[in-house]
Each structure stands twice: as C-alpha cells, then as structure tokens.
A and B are shown apart, each in its own frame.
Chain A
Amino acid sequence: MSNFMKYNAMHFDTLREIANIGSGNAIAALGKMLGHKIRMSVPVINLVDFKDIAKFIGGAENIIIGILVGISGEINGIMMFMVKQDSAANLLDILMGSAGRAGGAERDVLNFTEVEHSALTEIGNILCSSYLGSLSSLINKRIIPSVPMLSIDMANAILSVPAIEFGKVADQALFIESVFQAETQNVSGYFLLVPDLPSFNLILSSLGVE
C-alpha cells in the first residue's frame, strides 16, 4: 500500500481497535496515577485535510499543550498527546492538588511553572508509553519511545509537526482521536499516532490485515 487514501473500512476498523486498546491502557495508567476513575469514548478515526487539521481541537490559533514522543525500533514515527488549556489545568489540580499549585486558581497556561511543565510532560510520557507498550505486545514488534518533549502554543503550530510527517506520504492526515473524561474534573485529551508508511503497513500486516 502506498497511500493512506487506499485504506478501506477494514483498515480503519483495525486502526480504531488499536487505538481503543492503546488509549484504554494509557488511560488506565493515568487513572492509577491520579487515583481517579476515567471514562473513555470510542476512538474516532478521521482523514482530514491539512487546512482543517486544528478544527477538532478548538481551531488554528487555540492554545494547546502537546507532548511529543519519537518512536523507533521496528515501528518508526511519532506519537503525540494533546490537551486543551482547561484540561491541562484540571489534570494538574488532580495531580498536585489545587492548593499545592503555584498561583492557586491561576488557569493561564502561559503562567505554568517549570514543575507544572514537568508534571504535564510526565503525564504525556506515561500515556504515550502505555499506549505504545500495548501496541508493541499486540503486534509483537519492538517499539522504543524517545524522551518526551513539551510544547505550549497555537494548535496549528503544534500540529504542523505530525502534519509534516503525514505530508511526506499523503495529502491528508489520519487522526486517531481518543477523548477521555475524569469523573469529577472534566479532562479530555487527544492521542495522535503517526507511524511512517512502512510502519503503518507493518502494523496492519502483523494483525493479518493486508
């Protein structure tokens, strides 16, 4: 297969199932870390045009937090976890306790402290690593995540990184969107798994889908 556009319904079902298992595991890990019950919706898979890439996360200039992990080993590519500002603040409140946070109720993501940046990076790291860990055992291929990196900026600017990866092989981007919700605090997040094209095909063929 040379192009994402050639994927059919069965490929999408397989990818959705991978996303379901991957994000399910990731969110279980997060729930354990936060001591909260977390509900997850069925992942949505979309092929989107580059110009519409930020629509699902509040628009091109909406400020979001992205944590990026590079993937190497038998599967190559990148993985990203994204949250909107309010969800990031809620995640930090759950993790650190709102009283313990510098600035208390201060919600402006641009005023987050170094410690808060580290905490968010680590949350993204745990989520991406658990997701990739379950993918690795599912397809029985070695996957090595890199050190996680954090960026807080306009959605389009952050999404340009995975979009460019897609751009090398397609004119659209394949988004696997998993939204989850903590029980008391509203937290939703988005996963974006971008294997390169050979890795995409390897993932599918490992699961017997050609």
Chain B
Amino acid sequence: MAGIIIVGMADLNVIKAPGMLTTLGLGSCVGIALYDSVNKVAGLAHCMLPDSTQIQNNSNIAKFVDTALIRLINNMGRSGANKRILKAKVAGGAQMFAFNSTNESMRIGDRNVDATLKMLREFNIPVVGRDTGANYGRTVELFAEDGRFVIKTIGHGTHII
C-alpha cells in the first residue's frame, strides 16, 4: 500500500517505502526531510520556531526545530532506520512579506533554516539538498523509496532535490 501522510504545521511523521510524506504550503516554517536510503525509511518535520529553550510554552515537540529533530530521528530509528546513515534535505524558511527591517520576528524563516543546519551538523547528518529562503511558499513531497524531495511552488516552478 502506497500510503501518503500529510504532515501538518507543528507536526512530524515517519513512513516506509513505498509511502510518501507531504506538507502543504511551507511558508516561514521549515520542512526537515530525513531518509535512510538503505532501509527506505523517511521522516518529515514541519517546524515553526528555531529554539524551544527561548519559548516558555514549549510542550509541543514538533513546533521547534531542536526538539522536533531529536524526536524525528528517534522515531525513524524505531521504524527501522539506521541513524548513522541518515541524509537530510531542507526546504522552506521563506520571508513571505518583504519587510525591509531588522525586526527579529520578521526574519524567522532564516532563523529556522539556520537552526536546522546547525542541529543537523551537530548530529553529523549531511545536508544533500536544500531549497530555502526567498519569498514564496513551498509544498513538499518526500518519497521513502529513494529520498526524492519534490518541491512545488506557485509561480516558481516544481523541482526535485
């Protein structure tokens, strides 16, 4: 059964081949895709904020890059993935409104991507594909079969990383 699981905002999920994970309309949020191409296990997180330690109300694990990534890696391990051979692809982190300001909250997209790359480095997970920043939304699809990460946009084409 080729299952499709939709990962919502502040959500994460894991699937095995031939399944597919998708998240619709990533804006300033970041989509973190991990996959193990040997055991064919994929995981996708849709995070809203970079750092749970900066926020008082931080019980929602999938909302933050730091806590979501740890949970995602563990869940994938439980589904049969080898944590040592995981590869990552990252999408999203757009600045939807072109505020020319130093206002921290308006740069949240960049900060989400920075936090993701930093965490992945700490876990020694190589980033093999990336489509981040700019000012438009992205729908992404992650295929467990081969780690293919399809990125669809409105007016900026569709591509595969």
**Chain A residues with a Cβ under 8 A of chain B:** 2-3, 49-54, 60-61, 63, 66, 68, 70, 110, 146, 149-161, 163-165, 167-171
Asked whether, in the complex, the Cβ of B27 is within 8 Å of the Cβ of A161, the reply is yes
Contact among B28, B49, B99 with A168 in the assembled complex (CB-CB below 8 Å)? B49
Segment with Cβ contacts to A, from B7-15, B33-41, B68-76, B123-131:
B7-15
Asked whether, in the complex, the Cβ of B60 is within 8 Å of the Cβ of A171, the reply is yes
Contact among B24, B49, B60 with A156 in the assembled complex (CB-CB below 8 Å)? B24
Residues of the B chain whose Cβ atoms lie less than 8 Å from the Cβ of A161: 27-28, 96-97
Expressed in whole angstroms, the minimum distance between the Cβ of B139 and any Cβ of chain A is 6
Say whether chain B's binding surface is mostly helix, strand, loop, or mixed: loop
Expressed in whole angstroms, the minimum distance between the Cβ of A55 and any Cβ of chain B is 11
Asked whether, in the complex, the Cβ of A171 is within 8 Å of the Cβ of B57, the reply is yes
Specify the chain A residue showing the minimal Cβ separation from B103. A70
Residues of the A chain whose Cβ atoms lie less than 8 Å from the Cβ of B56: 2, 169
Asked whether, in the complex, the Cβ of A149 is within 8 Å of the Cβ of B98, the reply is yes
Task: Give the distance in Å from the alpha carbon of A169 to the alpha carbon of B49 in the complex.
Answer: 11
Residues of the B chain whose Cβ atoms lie less than 8 Å from the Cβ of A151: 96-97, 135
Residues of the B chain whose Cβ atoms lie less than 8 Å from the Cβ of A149: 97-99
Asked whether, in the complex, the Cβ of B99 is within 8 Å of the Cβ of A158, the reply is no
Asked whether, in the complex, the Cβ of A61 is within 8 Å of the Cβ of B25, the reply is yes
B117 at interface (Cβ–Cβ under 8 A)?
Answer: no
Asked whether, in the complex, the Cβ of B27 is within 8 Å of the Cβ of A171, the reply is no
Asked whether, in the complex, the Cβ of B27 is within 8 Å of the Cβ of A156, the reply is yes
Expressed in whole angstroms, the minimum distance between the Cβ of B135 and any Cβ of chain A is 7
B53 at interface (Cβ–Cβ under 8 A)?
Answer: no
Interface residues of B, CB < 8 Å — how many?
35
B105 at interface (Cβ–Cβ under 8 A)?
Answer: yes
Task: Give the distance in Å from the alpha carbon of A172 to the alpha carbon of B161 in the complex.
Answer: 32
Q: A2-B56, A167-B48 are in contact. Are A61 and B24 (CB under 8 A)?
A: yes
8 more contacts with CB within 8 A, not counting A157-B26, A160-B9, A163-B48, are A50-B9, A50-B10, A150-B97, A157-B94, A168-B55, A169-B55, A171-B57, A171-B60
Asked whether, in the complex, the Cβ of B10 is within 8 Å of the Cβ of A167, the reply is yes
Expressed in whole angstroms, the minimum distance between the Cβ of B91 and any Cβ of chain A is 12
Contact among B63, B105, B137, B155 with A110 in the assembled complex (CB-CB below 8 Å)? B155
Interface centre among B9, B11, B57, B96 (most CB of A within 10 A): B9
Asked whether, in the complex, the Cβ of A154 is within 8 Å of the Cβ of B48, the reply is no
Asked whether, in the complex, the Cβ of A156 is within 8 Å of the Cβ of B9, the reply is yes
Task: Give the distance in Å from the alpha carbon of A11 to the alpha carbon of B150 in the complex.
Answer: 44
- A-B pairs, top 7 by smallest CB distance, nearest first, are A157-B137, A156-B25, A51-B8, A160-B27, A157-B27, A154-B25, A60-B24
Residues of the B chain whose Cβ atoms lie less than 8 Å from the Cβ of A158: 27, 96, 137
10 A-B pairs in the complex with CB atoms less than 8 angstroms apart: A50-B11, A61-B139, A146-B99, A153-B96, A154-B137, A156-B24, A156-B26, A164-B48, A164-B108, A170-B57
Task: Give the distance in Å from the alpha carbon of A161 to the alpha carbon of B11 in the complex.
Answer: 17
Specify the chain B residue showing the minimal Cβ separation from A147. B99
Asked whether, in the complex, the Cβ of B24 is within 8 Å of the Cβ of A110, the reply is no
Residues of the A chain whose Cβ atoms lie less than 8 Å from the Cβ of B86: none
Residues of the A chain whose Cβ atoms lie less than 8 Å from the Cβ of B57: 2-3, 168-171
Task: Give the distance in Å from the alpha carbon of A7 to the alpha carbon of B71 in the complex.
Answer: 31
Residues of the A chain whose Cβ atoms lie less than 8 Å from the Cβ of B25: 54, 60-61, 153-157, 159-160
Q: Mark B83-103, 1 if CB is under 8 A from A, else 0.
A: 000000000001011110101
